[in-house]
Amino acid sequence: MLLNPIEVVPAEEVGPVHFIAAGGSGMSGIARLYAELGIKTSGSDQSDSTALRGLQRAGVTTYVGHDAAQVGDARTVVISSAIRAENVELVEARRRGLRIWHRSAALAALMQGKRGISVAGTHGKTTTTAMTAVMLSEAGRDPSYVIGGPLSTTGASSAVGSGEAFVVEADESDASFLQYPTEVAVITNVEADHLVNWGTPEAYADGFRAFATRPHVQHVVINVDDAGSRALAAELVGETPHIIRYGEAEDADVRITDVRAHGNGVAATITYGEDSGEIVLQVPGNHNLANASAAYAVGRVLGLSHDEAVDALGRFEGTLRRFQLITDTAGIRVFDDYAHHPTEIRAALTAARRATSAGNEATGLSGRLIACFQPHLYSRTIDFADEFGEVMTLADIAVINDICGAREDPVPGVTGELVVDAARRHGQENLVYVKEKYDLPAALNEIAEPGDLIITLGCGDVTIVGPLLADLLKQRPDAR
């Protein structure tokens, strides 16, 4: 289902407000901001979570489970695309004639009167949004922001700032990125996804063109290393007031050169016009240099100097579930990453391969890279099973879980074994299929040897595996 933009009123006029599925990554940050503004806010979710408890501490009245009575005295009810029409709270809101907004409208209401920076793209949205928010914060600009994942340093995914900038992660999956009052549109890449909503790759790409040419847009910051966004950049010439191209390509306006490893992070030379110098990141991978280049371009548009932008980006420490170190125990490192599209998984495994080599230099251990992948959504698995299988060949051992269906109903014959079969066709011989996610920690513990690097991959509940595996590793005789 694709959304059409609607007119919104300022956030101060919508309360009291109730969020259905308030604990979700896209919802919790928005609900928190309404509460921080002093608007009476409540929220429910089908199960308890860290996010839901965090909202409670922030002043949101929270409920576990759904009940019509929990709508209370709300005048506005906020939903996500995952909420089904028969949800009892949504049914009650409709019965009472309440204002019902998609979460993108609730966020757009918060952005009124601010300079909107919307970060879109098939991959890299969360990290680029987080880098931009941290950069502006560290440079003293006190932005407001809503990110799709918590910052590793604060554990928060949103904040109300006194500055003029409002930075948001703009979701393209359901066209909600067209809702925001965007002055600076960032496009990290354009590679077909969410075709269950968009229908065709061409329609998906056209959605990004619509995003970049919305009435408020004054600047488009776009990646020219990616084929899809490079093609879009060419189409946008003359259609938008100002385009900043970024990447390693020779024609990039913000250009990255001389890429090199730097401890656990990465360094390069970044050049924009007459300004040039070293940028050093605390997070690894060329893809993070690309993300930082986009954030740098936004900073320059908003008035930061070269040195301010570079220095502030160097203080970014990452977001949760983006190459997040879970444990380093018994000589085995375990990371967790949100990657769930073949291109994202390729970037994560490439960074992990480098980390495997770098991490074993001092010990002399010949550690292996073990990928533990949980496919997300039946539709995405159907669309990309072959690509998932191919990218699993980048690991020495691939452990595949069954599909996390999330909002989708099961599809007969569509399981994680589709990825296993595809990986085998592409030559990956070291394969293990573990149907139940709670069996993954024990399976990985049995496989892992000192020097190995394990990375769990997926945007579903595979995130539980790392901490459970850490507990098992601590029981090893050689655990330190």
Please enumerate, by residue number, every residue annotated as part of a binding site: 121-127
286: amino acid identity, one letter: N
What residue spans of 161-214 are helical by DSSP H?
A: 195-198, 201-212
Distance from C-alpha of 230 to C-alpha of 151, rounded to nearest angstrom: 29
Tokens standing for residue 200 = 């065709």
Q: How far apart are CA 189 and CA 122, in angstroms?
A: 6
Catalytic one of 92, 114, 125, 381: 125
Any catalytic annotation for residue 363? no
Looking from the CA of 348 toward its CB, the CA atoms found within 13 Å total: 32
Burial 325-345 (b: 16+ CB within 10 A, else e): ebbebbbbbbbbbbbbbbbbb
Cα distance between residue 18 and residue 42, in whole Å: 5
CB-side neighbour CA atoms (13 Å) of 242: 13
Binding residues for ATP: 121-127
Is 381:419 a contact under the CB 8 Å cutoff? Answer: yes
Residue 429 annotated in active site: no
Which of the residues 76, 92, 132, 169 is marked catalytic?
169
Catalytic annotation present for 86: no
Q: State how far the alpha carbon of 423 is from the alpha carbons of 390, 442, 460, in Å.
A: 6, 22, 21
Task: Classify residue 375 as exposed, middle or buried by CB count within 10 Å of its CB (0-12, 13-18, 19+).
Answer: buried
Rg (CA), the chain: 22
Q: Which residues contact 416 (CB under 8 A, 6 or more apart)?
A: 374, 375, 381, 400, 401, 402, 403, 433, 435
Of these residues, 41, 76, 126, 343, which one is catalytic? 126
Tokens of 446: 């049995």
Give the residue numbers annotated as catalytic, written as ranges: 125-126, 169
